[in-house]
Structure 1
Amino acid sequence: MKTVLRNYDNLNSFPALFNEFFGEPALAKLNKSVPSANIKENEDNFGIELVAPGFKKDAFKVEVHERNLTISVEDKTETEEKTETFLRKEYNFGSFSRSFRLPNTVDSDKIEATYEDGVLHLTIPKKEEAKPKEPKLISIN
């Protein structure tokens, strides 16, 4: 019969193990009330796609304050069912808030947002000076 020995002297590995199971990435996967976001970048702008199905377009609030972009939703729905002997109401509240720190290179006055098929799309244009430029040939006198 084999005996399995464990080395408890190396307790420094516990924080790494703890973070693996309970760290921010793991908690983000468990917290389904905050929607996932895809962030992409091209030469002209940044894009954020936020998966938030089941909300009405009017429930979203997108605001920028001092380079902080905050997307939030406060949604309340009521379902009412009447039958012969009772009246039943069900309430469903859905809300979340998600913030992103914007770089200095974006033009926050020209941010555009659309909500389509359960996905909120944000287009965050870059300032002209932040866009890549063609190399300039300098003549030698």
Structure 2
Amino acid sequence: MLPILKNRAFFPGIVDEFFGRDFLPNLFEFQTGINMPSVNIIEGKEDFRIEVAAPGLEKGDFRINLENNVLTISSEKEEKNEEKEERYMRREFSYTSFRRSFSLPQTVEAEKIAANHNNGVLTITIPKREEAKVKPAKQIEIM
């Protein structure tokens, strides 16, 4: 086997091509202090699944948008903590936010995308179109 064929980087799969990198790079992550949640991307026979680990966030804290085949997952949560003592008052405000965008392949059924939130994990299911699904091998008869 040629050495170039061993390197998978020359032959990216559909997951690598469309989901492997965020559509917009996280250039400002360290400058703004935004905490990006971990994301798993899984390709099944029938669909793609994006799992976002976001403990402490609830279903209502997320926004999921699809525009021009770009799926954007975002969240913004504000927490206020106020303590009053006899002679002083202390207020602390905390903001948690993130935004991740993924370019979807043309082979998905965008109108059937569904999302579910369970135990701090947001799961987005992106069904494949029929022509993109893995088909079983077909035996061809020799005439």
TM-score (structure 1 length as normaliser):
0.70
Report the secondary structure of 1:38's partner residue: strand
Count of paired positions:
117
Report the secondary structure of 2:80's partner residue: strand
Report the secondary structure of 2:72's partner residue: strand
* 2:31 pairs with 1:56: no
Deviates more, 1:118-127 or 1:131-140: 131-140
If you compute each CA radius of gyration, which structure gives the higher value, 1 or 2? 1
Cα deviation code 1:98-141 (max 9, x no counterpart): 01111111111111111222211111111122112345677899
Q: What code does the residue aligned with 2:114 have?
A: E
Query: Sequence identity, in percent?
Result: 44
Root-mean-square deviation (CA, aligned residues, Å) is 2.7
Cα distance, 1:85 vs structure 2? 2.1
Task: Work out which of the residue numbers 36, 40, 43 in structure 2 matches 1:41.
Answer: 43
TM-score (structure 2 length as normaliser):
0.69
Structure-1 separation of matches of 2:34 and 2:90: 27
Report the secondary structure of 1:109's partner residue: helix
Cα distance, 1:52 vs structure 2? 1.4
Equivalent pair of 2:82/2:90 in contact (CA under 8 Å) = yes
Gaps of 5+ in 2: 1-24
Report the secondary structure of 1:93's partner residue: strand
Report the secondary structure of 1:34's partner residue: coil
Higher relative contact order (CA 8 A, sep 6+): 2
Gaps of 5+ in 1: 1-23
Q: What code does the residue aligned with 1:130 have?
A: A
